[in-house]
Amino acid sequence: MPPIGDLGWIVVAVGLRHGDFPSAGSYSRRGRRVAATGNAARRAAIAAWPHRHWTRRGQGDEIRPGDAGRFTRSCRQSRCRMAFPSWLSALPAMSGPRYLAITECLAAAVQAGELRPGDRLPPHRDLAGTLSLNVSTVTRAYHEMQKRGLVQGETGRGTFIAPPHGHDGPFTLSHGTPAGNFVDLSHNFPPTAPVHGLPAISAAMEFSERELAGLLSGQADVGQAWHRDAGAQWLRGFGIEATPEDVILTGGGQHGLMLAIAAQTRPGEPVLTEELGYYGLKSTAAMLGRPLVPVRMDAEGLMPDYLELACRRSGARTLVCTPTLHNPTTATMSLVRRQEVLEVCQRLGVTIIEDDVYGFLIEPSLPSFAALAPGRTIHVTSISKIVGPGWRLGYLKAPRPMQEALGIALRATTLMASSLAGEGISRLIASGALSGISARVRQEIAWRQRVAAGIFNGLRVRQHPAAFHLWMRLPVGWTAEEFTRRAAQRGVGVAPSPLFEMGRAAEDQAVRICVNAAPSVERLSEALGILRDLARLPRLA
């Protein structure tokens, strides 16, 4: 008996329950018969679910559609064109809504390792045809999978198995101070303390007993009035029209993103973002239950045409993006690109959450979305990127109608802004010291990027002279994970591309290298030389 596949037909059946598998019989298509008994019949029955055009001929009976265990099918009457996915083999025995059953099958396959992160799922229509279901049922199943964080859709490419929630892949970034001679270039922190102007910072944190008593007492949840006024003054320096009433103090950029997403969206609601992006956004979205919808990028960042396509396909009406010195690629949108993205958002009613934590590094500054469309933009920035990660303070500027929801989100997370952090930064802004620190950071970064450009000459590296980091695409044969392991063995830490993937695996294997993280330019040069030499080695060397 030839295998079923050799006959050029696909077996699909309907209504199976436990114990409904046939023990013997023959299955026919267009007058051609194939005998099946025992396990062969069982396999055929599993593969056969759930097509309504099956009948089974055996022992003189003819079983028609609608009854459990009845299996003849004419391919002329079906739209099925693909093989039955093995991860759906348990589907015939499952009860309840079909879209939930499909979702549970996928969840089980992911748990068992049958499906792995990055595996691509069939298109909606193909799977619907195989299962003889409405396309809307499969679409609902895929939406449920995305809501649970099991899959991630990528506009123009398809639907893929997502990395586990709360896990960015096989690597996590190290924390704390590295031991010995290890140079950790995986963290995007400001340059080392001598650049920061420690005397000015120390002076800003000197309080009288009366001042300290007031700062340690309760205050307005969104920040004291003069702290908000200082924040508005800081934002106006970057071309953003802001009053104290527009500004909310946050616990840094990560906290600002969380507040904006929580206030602007509901659980299960999709959020648009770049196909590569800040890994903290992934964990925030997963914790809040907001599936991310990745959008294609080019050298300037987010692509407007793909943004519109993703909006229409997903129904998402919130976009999180980094238009200036994108993390990790350093892509920076031109004014024309910003206007094109804004036109799509205005036409489709999309609110922009602008992650602008690196905006202070470019001088003169580019117009932000908050400056171009203040009524449509929630602007998030962070002072921590200037003075150091230990000073958890940022500013969030939002339209007045959104302020109440943002205040509720703030109270639910930190109760109130830090008055001590707010006071210190407000003094630095008022004295002009923060602007001076920012200028020194820019000078240091420009120097370090010039050093990196010389060392990495000839390698595929994306740089920007003002960026904290660079993006190195690896030679053919390397994976980002293996390169990261080999680099760590040689005493250098980098961040592999899977950490930044918002959907399917990136086409290029790459690593992010933070030039700002080394304690000195000399140590940076040594570390970059190690990475350059490693990239030039054969993968198995």
| pLDDT tens by residue, 157-204 | 788 888 764 344 434 454 444 445 889 999 888 886 545 677 788 888
Per-residue pLDDT tens over the stretch 395-439: 999 999 999 999 999 988 888 788 888 899 999 999 999 999 999
Residue with the bigger pLDDT between 31 and 263: it is 263
Q: Do 88 and 102 form a contact (C-beta atoms < 8 A)?
A: yes
Any idea where the domains of the chain sit in the sequence?
Answer: 1-78, 183-194+436-535, 208-432
| CATH architecture of residue range(s) 183-194+436-535 | Alpha-Beta Complex (3.90)
**Is there a cis peptide before residue 364, judged by omega within 30 degrees of 0?**
yes
Contacts of 482 (CB under 8 A, 6+ apart): 539
pLDDT at 77 exceeding the cut of 50: no
Model confidence, pTM: 0.68
Confidence of residue 116 (pLDDT cuts 50, 70, 90): confident
Distance CA 163, CA 170 (A): 10
The strand pair at 318-321 and 271-274 is best described as parallel
pLDDT, mean of residues 29-45: 41
The DSSP H or E segment spanning 485 is helix 480-489
User: Is 469 in a helix, a strand, or coil?
Assistant: strand
Domain at 208-432: CATH code: 3.40.640.10
The mean of the pLDDT values for the chain is: 80
Alpha carbons 223 and 422: distance in angstroms, whole number: 8
Place of tokens 């024309």: 336
Would you place residue 22 in the very low, low, confident or very high pLDDT band (cuts 50, 70, 90)? very low
Grouping H, G, I as helix, E, B as strand and the rest as coil, residue 292 is strand
C-alpha 138/C-alpha 140 separation (Å) is: 5
| Alpha-carbon distances of 10 from 42, 51, 74, rounded to whole Å | 15, 10, 10
User: Is the model more confident about 30 or about 417?
Assistant: 417
- 449 within 8 A of 467, measured Cβ to Cβ: yes
Query: Is 11 within 8 Å of 71 (Cβ atoms)?
Result: yes
| Residue 380: pLDDT band with limits 50, 70, 90 | very high
Identify each DSSP E strand in 98-181 by its residue range: 151-154, 158-161
Q: What is the pLDDT of residue 539?
A: 62
Q: How far apart are CA 262 and CA 125, in angstroms?
A: 33
User: Residue 38: is its pLDDT beyond 60?
Assistant: no
Q: What is the DSSP string of 309-377?
A: HHHHHH---EEEE--SS-TTT-----HHHHHHHHHHHHHHTPEEEEE-TTGGGSSSPPPPHHHH-TTTE
Side-chain-side CA neighbours of 407 within 13 Å: the count stands at 13
- Cα-based angle 524, 509, 159 (whole degrees, multiple of 5): 140
Q: Which of 93, 81, 73, 84 shows the shortest CA–CA distance to 30?
A: 73
Measured distance CA(355)–CA(235) in Å, rounded: 14
* pLDDT value for 192: 67
Half-sphere exposure of 94 (CA within 13 A, CB side): 18
